[in-house]
């Protein structure tokens, strides 16, 4: 094991001890005692790398290596350091650790960049305490206004700023950050899925964070007695719904490009064992990396569903949720791939099926992400594990990329 890898393991192990559920995974809620412990460790490590440490009015942490250019925008590297309840040691912190180790390499090699380099550690990405998710990144980019932030309460009724004060955070610090002060954002995250491990490829270069839409479909028919209504006289809402649901996987497979489609909720009415169902309501969750694939599948689902609107069966379709896919920055993707080639590290393109802070930043700056394999594809559980050798790969890739990004004027 090399030096960088040893340091990575030390960071991950130390951070994993800051949990409210020892022996039962990482539970690190935003503005909790464990947040403060992790925060102090991260700030200490930032200072040891020669970075100037600052926090904002949300408690996001920034460690800055000044560049030679005056008032120039920074290259940001980082991730979040909160967790889900009984989560793992890698989702979030691994990305912060990578950023710290990139800064460590800058110090070790005595590099002074032209543009500043900033290590960032974000709060409340998971939304475990205050809901919604991506709070740290949305807040700093101005997508969460001060009033709405102040009104957020946790399940015990504790407002954000009160919780911040309990761990000694300064709520009067500036909250919003001008996008002009950011040149790029790089994030390393565990894949949280099985693809890289199955392909035995150590690096996934994220092309897009998938868009997602949800359709709510209601199928109605006619209730009747399960014993006395002949088969040819039935308008069974559940049979129609089941026929539709059974055809959905093939629509995703035909669309390809990593498109996935899921029915996760189905309610049957009146839900009696001896009553022909007169209503079935189900969800259709559609995700893909490209908007055209999402829209294509939505259209195909619509026409499939509408084709059942006959012979006494009625259907309605609602679309309560639509989030557009976020493409990562093509120039940085190319830079990362070229860097992998130069370092002889195998990689493949991949889409992210989950949301990440990079998705928020992608609207304001050039954002890019790398994934590393997750053991057995698991995350958000104590078994979550990734190889420190894979994490060390991303340190080297981001170090090379950050050297270029902090030098070039583009
Ligand atoms: Zn995460």
- The pLDDT, as a whole number, for residue 392 is 98
- Flag whether 258 is in a domain: yes
Same domain membership, residue 151 and residue 59: yes
Q: Which of 80, 48, 89 is nearest to 61 (CA)?
A: 80
Q: Are residues 307 and 335 in the same domain?
A: no
How does strand 61-65 pair with strand 117-122?
Answer: antiparallel
Question: Which among 282, 205, 295, 203 has a CA at the least distance from the CA of 246?
Answer: 282
For range 78-99, the mean pLDDT: 97
* DSSP letter string, 342-398: HHT--EEEEEESS--HHHHHTTTSEEEEEEE--GGG--SSTT----HHHHHHHHHHH
CA of 192 to the centre of ligand 1 (A): 9
Is pLDDT at 1 greater than 80 in this prediction? no
Of 258, 289, 323, which residue sits at a domain end? 323
* Domain shared by 118 and 82, yes or no: yes
> Which is it for the CA torsion 288, 294, 298, 304, positive or negative?
negative
Q: What is the pLDDT of residue 212?
A: 80
Residues 293 and 231 occupy one common structural domain: yes
Q: Quick one: 48 and 151 in the same domain? A: yes
- The answer to whether 286 and 297 are in contact (CB under 8 A) is yes
Which is nearest to 208 in space by CA: 35, 369, 401, 65? 369
Q: What is the mean pLDDT of the chain?
A: 96
Burial label for 65, CB within 10 Å (0-12, 13-18, 19+), is: buried
Residue 53 and residue 191 share a domain: yes
The CATH number given to whatever domain includes residue 344 is 3.40.630.10
Using one digit for the tens of pLDDT, what is the confidence trace for 187-210?
999 999 999 999 999 999 999 998
Average pLDDT, stretch 293-312? 96
Say if 410 falls within a structural domain.
no
Last residue of a domain, one of 323, 356, 373: 323
Note whether 345 and 253 are same-domain residues.
no
* d(CA 151, ligand 1 centre) in Å: 25
| Residue pLDDT, tens place only, 113-145 | 999 999 999 999 999 999 878 999 999 999 999
Q: Are residues 141 and 253 in the same domain?
A: no
Q: Determine the pLDDT at residue 322.
A: 84
Per residue in 360-388, pLDDT tens? 999 999 999 999 999 999 999 999 999 99
273 and 338 inside one domain: no
Task: Rounding to the nearest 10 degrees, give the CA dihedral for residues 6, 7, 10, 15.
Answer: -140
Query: Separation of 354 CA from ligand 1 center, angstroms?
Result: 9
Question: Among the listed ranges 97-101, 287-291, 309-313, which one has the minimum average pLDDT value?
Answer: 287-291
Residue 29 included in any domain: yes
**91-122 exposure pattern, b = at least 16 Cβ within 10 A, e = fewer:** bbbbbbbbbbbbbbbbeeeeeebebbbbbbbb
What is the CA(356)–ligand 1 centre distance, in A?
6
Q: What is the pLDDT of residue 210?
A: 85
Say if 59 falls within a structural domain. Answer: yes
CA of 69 to the centre of ligand 1 (A): 33
Q: Which of 397, 329, 407 is nearest to 188 (CA)?
A: 397
Reported as a pLDDT band with limits 50, 70 and 90, residue 409 is confident
Q: Write the pLDDT tens digit of every residue in 231-259.
A: 999 999 999 999 999 999 999 999 998 89
Of residues 390, 366, 378, the one with CA closest to residue 204: 390
Q: Last residue of some domain: 279, 303, 323?
A: 323
Position 152 scores a pLDDT of 95
CA of 369 to the centre of ligand 1 (A): 12
* pLDDT reported for residue 55: 98
Q: Ligand 1 centroid to 200 CA: how many Å?
A: 22
Backbone angles phi, psi at 364, to 5 degrees: -120, -20
Give the start-end residues of each E strand in 246-308: 260-262, 266-269, 275-276, 279-288
Give me the mean pLDDT over the 265-274 stretch: 95
CA of 207 to the centre of ligand 1 (A): 17
Q: Ligand 1 centroid to 304 CA: how many Å? A: 36
Predicted pLDDT at 276: 96
Share of the chain above pLDDT 70, in %: 100
Are residues 38 and 180 located together in one domain of the fold? yes
As a whole number of angstroms, the distance between CA 211 and CA 286 comes to 8
pLDDT of residue 244: 98
User: What is the predicted pLDDT for the residue at 201?
Assistant: 98
* In a domain? residue 341: yes
Whether residues 125 and 248 fall in one domain: no
Reply yes or no on whether the pLDDT at 181 is more than 80: yes
Whole-number pLDDT of residue 237: 97
Per the structure, the count of domains in the chain is 2
Crossing angle between the packed helical segments 3-16 and 33-48, to the nearest 10 degrees: 160
- Average pLDDT of the residues in 144-157: 94
| pLDDT band, residue 20 (cuts 50/70/90) | very high
Q: Give distance in angstroms: CA of 125 to centre of ligand 1.
A: 7
Q: For residue 313, how far is its CA from the centre of ligand 1 (angstroms)? A: 43
Q: Domain of residue 12: give its range.
A: 3-210+325-405
- More confident site: 20 or 321: 20
Share of the chain above pLDDT 90, in %: 92
DSSP 145-210: -HHHHHH-B-TT--BHHHHHHHTT--TTS-----GGGEEEEEEEEE--SSHHHHHT-SEEEEEEEP
């Amino acid at each position: 094991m090399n030096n960088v890898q040893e340091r990575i393991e030390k960071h991950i192990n130390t951070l994993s001890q800051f949990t409210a559920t020892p022996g039962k995974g990482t539970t690190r809620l935003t503005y909790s005692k464990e947040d403060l412990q992790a925060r102090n460790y991260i700030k200490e490590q930032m200072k040891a790398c020669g970075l100037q440490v600052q926090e904002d009015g949300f408690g996001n942490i920034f460690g800055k290596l000044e560049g030679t250019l005056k008032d120039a925008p920074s290259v940001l590297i980082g991730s979040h350091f909160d967790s889900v309840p009984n989560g793992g040691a890698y989702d979030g912190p691994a990305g912060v650790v990578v950023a710290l180790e990139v800064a460590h390499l800058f110090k070790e090699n005595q590099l002074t960049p032209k543009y500043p380099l900033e290590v960032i550690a974000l709060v409340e990405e998971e939304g475990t305490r205050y809901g919604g998710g991506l709070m740290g990144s949305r807040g700093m980019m101005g997508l969460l206004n001060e009033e709405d932030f102040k009104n957020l309460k946790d399940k015990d009724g504790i407002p954000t700023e009160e919780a911040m004060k309990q761990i000694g955070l300064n709520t009067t610090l500036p909250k919003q950050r001008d996008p002009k002060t950011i040149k790029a954002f790089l994030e390393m995250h565990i894949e949280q899925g099985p693809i890289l491990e199955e392909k035995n490829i150590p690096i996934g270069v994220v092309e897009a964070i998938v868009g997602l839409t949800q359709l709510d479909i209601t199928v109605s028919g006619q209730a009747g007695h399960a014993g006395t209504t002949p088969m040819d006289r039935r308008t069974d809402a559940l049979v129609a719904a089941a026929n539709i649901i059974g055809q959905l996987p093939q629509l995703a497979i035909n669309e390809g490009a990593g498109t996935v489609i899921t029915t996760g909720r189905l309610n049957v009415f009146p839900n009696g064992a001896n009553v022909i169902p007169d209503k079935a309501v189900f969800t259709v969750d559609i995700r893909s990396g490209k908007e055209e694939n999402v829209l294509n599948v939505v259209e195909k689902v619509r026409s499939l569903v509408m084709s059942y609107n006959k012979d006494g069966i009625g259907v309605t379709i609602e679309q309560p949720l639509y989030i557009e896919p976020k493409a990562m920055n093509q120039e940085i993707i190319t830079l990362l791939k070229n860097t992998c080639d130069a370092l002889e590290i195998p990689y493949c393109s991949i889409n992210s099926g989950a949301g990440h802070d990079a998705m928020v930043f992608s609207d304001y700056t050039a954002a890019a992400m790398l994934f590393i394999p997750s053991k057995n594809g698991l995350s958000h559980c104590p078994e979550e594990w990734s190889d420190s050798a894979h994490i060390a790969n991303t340190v080297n890739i981001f170090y090379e990329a950050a050297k270029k990004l902090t030098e070039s004027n583009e």
